[in-house]
């Protein structure tokens, strides 16, 4: 952290190096500095030299030393004029030099949203990306993690990752989702977002066309646009993607991104007739289909349709899903099933991306699947989610009957509600007002290329306690009344 340079007494060199790092912003307010013994050992000097330097810094207000806590950079720095712009550091005020970023980075800055700080917890959180801690079999998971950690071999994994997990993935997908694959077609990925990135890198060049649902999952759009793809928006209705509105086969569309089991965000299920039509279109166009099936396991009112991939006979469908929705949001393990002709290029690009997914959680999930824990967990969570969904539907119909249009209630883990009489410009204000009352809902404005037709919201029920649903929806109704 600190190096000796220049001339003069050693304690002055240390003092000057630390002070310069603080003033330049490299050492931020509140940052812990090395203990005196540790820094002295690193620099090869007497501990007393470091003690004197720290004492001089503390005397001038640059650092704060506390017995039993250590030394850290002071939060109120003496160079008041330097920090007069609201704790903005000098380096943060410098503009990016021109012509220093790659074309990819420039596109990413243009098309992608900057990740926000994690939202503070609210009493009623209807985020559609949450999972319920009460549903997760913590004891079984801890036991498996401990067992696999003790048996973890030395060395590294391959880019295709743990063979046992790939076998379990393939068997699970064949049995539950009708996916036709062998284990060597499966890659373990760090969540479905990495799967989308891999598909885009392997199949797309800058300028290629990608057809996407409208509305759609914004995370997929951002990946495609950051790589320079051109987007063709295709409308969605109550039966899913309007296949007859796809560009003609000769238009040169390279990839179609679709969420057929539970369209994100509207919740529509792509009909069998349209699935077959989409496969025929892809074969005629020489295009590929990326099927994103993040929560297709949750189906409540009827038997779920098998995955689109299971109907594919021409090797045109790539299939991805994740355990983040099914087990825990923090568990970033997913899978990507590729046609046989793509096994080698995807394995190579995966290796270039991150070498391999962490072996320990892979092996734990493999055991979680093989020992039957996942099937039991899925059965229980389906029952609990169905009960939460019914409670949410009853509360929404009670509070918004004739006012809001409810969509996508038959599958998945969220409900899509549309308010035709409320302008889309009001959606963000409604969400902020609801948060003030302790209710988190997500506007759908970011799911559109252009402009949403009206105020629309995603209301997830996977991560909320059932007794909290009715009072939370009543609070949400009061927000609408106050903003009327």
Q: How confident is the model at residue 83 (pLDDT cuts 50, 70, 90)?
A: very low
pLDDT digits (tens, 9 = 90+) for 362-375: 888 888 888 888 88
pLDDT digits (tens, 9 = 90+) for 42-76: 888 888 888 898 888 888 888 888 877 889 888 87
Tell which residue, 478, 459, 385, 355, has the closest CA to residue 127: 459
Which two structure tokens, joined as six digits, stand for 429? 């204000």
pLDDT at 154: 55
Which of 26-30, 197-201, 281-285 bottoms out in mean pLDDT, i.e. has the lowest? 26-30
pLDDT at 329: 74
CA–CA distance from 41 to each of 49, 65, 126, 177 (Å)? 11, 19, 52, 59
Classify 110 as helix, strand or coil. Answer: helix
pLDDT at 30: 85
* More confident of the two residues 89 and 444: 444
Sign of the four-CA dihedral 35, 30, 113, 88: negative
- Residues across the chain: 484
Which of 4-8, 163-167, 472-476 bottoms out in mean pLDDT, i.e. has the lowest? 4-8
Q: How far is residue 427's CA from residue 216's CA, in Å, rounded to a whole number?
A: 17
pLDDT digits (tens, 9 = 90+) for 87-129: 444 445 556 565 678 888 888 888 887 766 556 778 999 988 8
pLDDT surpasses 70 at 354: yes
pLDDT at 207: 95
Q: How far is residue 390's CA from residue 373's CA, in Å, rounded to a whole number?
A: 26
* More confident of the two residues 155 and 190: 190
pLDDT surpasses 60 at 157: no
pLDDT surpasses 60 at 299: yes
pLDDT at 87: 46
Q: How far is residue 465's CA from residue 52's CA, in Å, rounded to a whole number?
A: 56
Q: What is the number of helices (H) and of strands (E) in the chain?
A: 15, 16
* More confident of the two residues 299 and 80: 299
pLDDT surpasses 60 at 156: no
Please give the average per-residue pLDDT across 159-181, as a whole number. Answer: 85
- The segment with the largest mean pLDDT, out of 111-115, 152-156, 192-196, is 192-196
Which of 86-90, 164-168, 247-251, 365-369 bottoms out in mean pLDDT, i.e. has the lowest? 86-90
pLDDT surpasses 50 at 194: yes
Residues 6 or more apart in contact with residue 460 via CB below 8 angstroms: 126, 127, 128, 129, 130, 413, 414, 415, 442
pLDDT at 86: 43
Q: How far is residue 320's CA from residue 335's CA, in Å, rounded to a whole number?
A: 6
Question: Which 8-state DSSP code applies to residue 425?
Answer: G
CA–CA distance from 80 to each of 55, 76, 84, 266 (Å)? 21, 8, 6, 52
Classify 253 as helix, strand or coil. Answer: strand
pLDDT at 13: 85
Q: How far is residue 226's CA from residue 135's CA, in Å, rounded to a whole number?
A: 36
pLDDT at 204: 96
Please give the average per-residue pLDDT across 308-325, as a whole number. Answer: 92
Mind giving me the DSSP string for 310-377?
GG-SSS-EEEEEESTTTT-TT---EEEE--GGGHHHHHHHHHHHHSS--HHHHHHHHHHHHTTHHHHH
Tell which residue, 101, 314, 309, 347, has the closest CA to residue 201: 347
Which of 32-46, 91-105, 465-479 bottoms out in mean pLDDT, i.e. has the lowest? 91-105
Tell which residue, 163, 221, 233, has the closest CA to residue 197: 221
pLDDT surpasses 50 at 159: no
Q: Which domains does the chain have, with CATH numbers?
A: 10-93 (1.10.10.10), 124-131+378-482 (3.90.1150.10), 138-375 (3.40.640.10)
pLDDT at 392: 96
Contacts 24+ apart (CB under 8 A), 3-7: 3/43, 4/43, 4/45
């Amino acid at each position: 952290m600190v190096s000796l340079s220049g001339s003069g007494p050693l304690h002055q060199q240390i003092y000057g190096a630390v002070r310069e790092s603080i003033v330049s912003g490299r050492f931020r307010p509140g940052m812990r500095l090395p203990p005196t013994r540790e820094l002295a050992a690193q620099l090869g000097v007497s501990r007393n030299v470091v003690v004197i330097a720290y004492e001089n810094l503390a005397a001038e207000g640059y650092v704060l030393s506390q017995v039993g806590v250590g030394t850290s950079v002071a939060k109120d720095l003496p160079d008041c004029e330097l920090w007069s712009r609201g704790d903005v550091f000098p380096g943060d005020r410098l503009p990016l030099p021109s012509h220093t970023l790659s074309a990819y980075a420039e596109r990413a800055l243009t098309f992608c949203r900057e990740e926000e700080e994690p939202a503070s917890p609210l009493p009623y959180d209807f985020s559609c990306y949450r999972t319920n801690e009460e549903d997760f079999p913590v004891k079984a998971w801890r036991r498996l993690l401990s067992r696999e950690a003790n048996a973890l071999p030395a060395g590294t994994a391959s880019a295709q990752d743990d063979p046992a997990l790939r076998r379990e993935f393939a068997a699970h997908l064949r049995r539950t989702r009708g996916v036709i694959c062998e284990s060597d077609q499966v890659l373990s990925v760090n969540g479905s977002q990495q799967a989308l990135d891999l598909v885009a890198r392997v199949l797309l060049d800058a300028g290629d066309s990608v057809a996407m649902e409208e509305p759609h999952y914004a995370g997929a759009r951002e990946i495609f646009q950051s790589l320079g793809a051109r987007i063709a928006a295709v409308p969605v209705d109550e039966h899913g993607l309007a296949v007859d509105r796809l560009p003609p086969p000769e238009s040169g569309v390279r990839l179609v991104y679709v969420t057929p089991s539970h369209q994100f965000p509207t919740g529509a299920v792509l009909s069998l007739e349209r699935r077959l039509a989409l496969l025929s279109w892809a074969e005629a166009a020489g295009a590929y289909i990326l099927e994103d099936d993040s929560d297709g396991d949750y189906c409540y009112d009827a038997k779920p349709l098998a995955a689109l991939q299971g109907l594919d006979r021409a090797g045109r469908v790539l299939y991805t899903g994740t355990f983040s929705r099914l087990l825990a949001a923090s568990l970033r393990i997913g899978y990507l099933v590729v046609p046989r002709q793509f096994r080698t290029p995807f394995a190579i690009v995966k290796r270039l991306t991150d070498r391999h997914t962490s072996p320990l959680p892979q092996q734990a999930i493999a055991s979680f699947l093989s020992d039957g824990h996942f099937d039991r967990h899925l059965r229980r969570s389906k029952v609990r989610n169905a009960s939460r969904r019914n409670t949410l539907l009853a509360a929404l119909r009670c509070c918004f009957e004739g006012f809001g249009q409810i969509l996508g209630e038959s599958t998945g883990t969220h409900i899509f509600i549309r308010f035709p009489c409320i302008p889309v410009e009001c959606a963000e204000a409604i969400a902020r007002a609801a948060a003030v009352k302790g209710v988190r809902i997500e506007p759908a404005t970011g799911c559109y290329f252009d402009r949403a037709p009206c105020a629309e919201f995603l209301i997830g029920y996977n991560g909320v306690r059932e007794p909290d649903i009715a009072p939370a929806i009543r609070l949400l109704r009061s927000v609408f009344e106050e903003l009327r």
